[in-house]
Structure 1
């Protein structure tokens, strides 16, 4: 199956951060979004007080036509699970300024990981470097809501992490 067929079969739509997605599950219970304890973002990204689903999950695909999941951070912790296709390269920017590179894929013997936890408040970007597509699933807890997602700007990275601007610039959404 090629990427176009997979996008159609899974009923994926373009995502604001790049790539394609479809929400596949939203837990029917909700939690208050006021607790910041234990989150990497607790000091710089306080949670808003509205309700959040207990958990949500999506399919997410990067393809040749949309190969970048642009640099952004989420309020919630997100578990990423590699499903199929080409490996996806993740760039993480931690609140302390540490930059980390991880590859999600099936070749464990070559250092690829099949799952990745990105704590809330950690900036992340993903890229399809080679191949036709890479497909993952994500589990978000508490569940994803758009108001808890922030796309990075060049100005923010320049002001807060200038040492990484050259590396991160191609991963920042320009529009």
Structure 2
């Protein structure tokens, strides 16, 4: 399969963070939270695709924990920035001998970005608990990153969509 086949077969649409996605599951059961709107599905899941023409998942953070699962294609490099400013890079893929991991947990309130560095596409699955809600997501802004992480700004700038 190529990227066009995957986009069609999985009914993927462009995502505001970059890449493409489709929601595959949203639990009907919800839980009360202290977040705006309070009730959230217990769990949601999506397919997420980065392609050679949409290779960047721009910095954003979610209030919920998110598990990322490698599915197919080329590996994807994640940049994970903790609230204290510690930057970690992890490659999601199946080449374990080269340090890749098949799944990656991004804790809630950590900034994350991802990039497809080579290949035509990288396909992931993501599970979010409590379930994803756009009210719980924040897109990174250049002014914030420059002020909060001045020593990292030059490295992070390409992954901040403004």
Same fold (TM over 0.5): yes
Off by >4 Å, runs of 4+ in structure 1: none
SS at match of 2:147: helix
Out of 79, 85, 88, which is 1:100 matched to? 88
Q: Give the whole-Å Cα distance in 2 for the aligned partners of 1:10 and 1:49.
A: 30
Structure 2 gaps of 5+ residues are none
How far does the alpha carbon of each residue in 1:68-123 deviate from its partner, in whole angstroms, 9 at most, with x for none?
00000001000000000000000011011100000000101110000000000000
State the shift of 1:49 in Å: 4.7
Aligned equivalents of 1:56, 1:148: Cα separation in 2? 13
C-alpha distance in 1 between matches for 2:46 and 2:37: 24
Q: 1:60 aligns with which of 35, 38, 48?
A: 48
Quote the Cα distance in structure 1 between the aligned partners of 2:138 and 2:65. Answer: 14
Asked whether 1:7 is paired with 2:7, we answer: yes
Contact 1:32–1:49 (CA<8 Å) still a contact in 2?
no
Contact 1:78-1:119 within 8 A present in 2 as well? yes
CA distance in 1, matches of 2:152, 2:32: 35
Number of aligned positions between the proteins? 162
Deviation at 1:48, TM superposition (A): 2.5
> What is the match of residue 22 of structure 1?
22
TM-score (normalised: structure 1)? 0.91
Supply the distance in 1 between the matched residues of 2:57 and 2:32 (Cα, whole angstroms). Answer: 28
- Which of 97, 101, 105 aligns to 1:113? It is 101
Per-residue deviation at 1:27? 0.6
1:160 to partner: Cα distance = 1.1
